[in-house]
Amino acid sequence: MRPFRWSRGERHFPGWYWAATTGRHVGFESWLERDRLVLMDFDPRVVGIASQPFWLHWHDGERERRHAPDYFVRRADGSARVSSI
């Protein structure tokens, strides 16, 4: 849902990881996200991974807020997990 942007000189470490689980590149925005992504890719229970898959929208009583979770993970048993680091 949200594009990955980066430019020279930034302090974080975004990039693309080739996931064997999906056979595609999956985006990450930091070393921590990349490390979590590698662990998910090696987990035999994981059959699908999507980075920043959707927006969550809510009103906190004062203003509208939104957040894009870092990952949506589909498991072999059909269950799913949403992860934000």
Retrieve residue 17's tokens: 């990881």
In contact, 51 and 83? CB cutoff 8 Å = no
Amino acid letter, 6 = W
Per-residue model confidence as pLDDT tens for the chain (85 residues): 556 565 666 667 889 999 999 999 999 988 999 999 999 999 999 999 999 999 999 999 999 999 999 999 999 999 999 988 7
Report the domain count for the chain: 1
Q: What is the pLDDT of residues 4-23, one digit of tens each?
A: 565 666 667 889 999 999 99
Q: Does 10 map to a domain?
A: no
Reported pTM:
0.78
The span from the CA of 74 to the CA of 6, in Å, is 27
Instruction: Identify the H or E element spanning 39.
Output: helix 31-42
**2 within domain boundaries:** no
* Total residue count of the chain as it appears in this document: 85
Boundaries of domain holding 49: 15-83
60 occurs within a structural domain = yes
6 is a domain residue = no
Q: Is residue 47 part of a domain?
A: yes
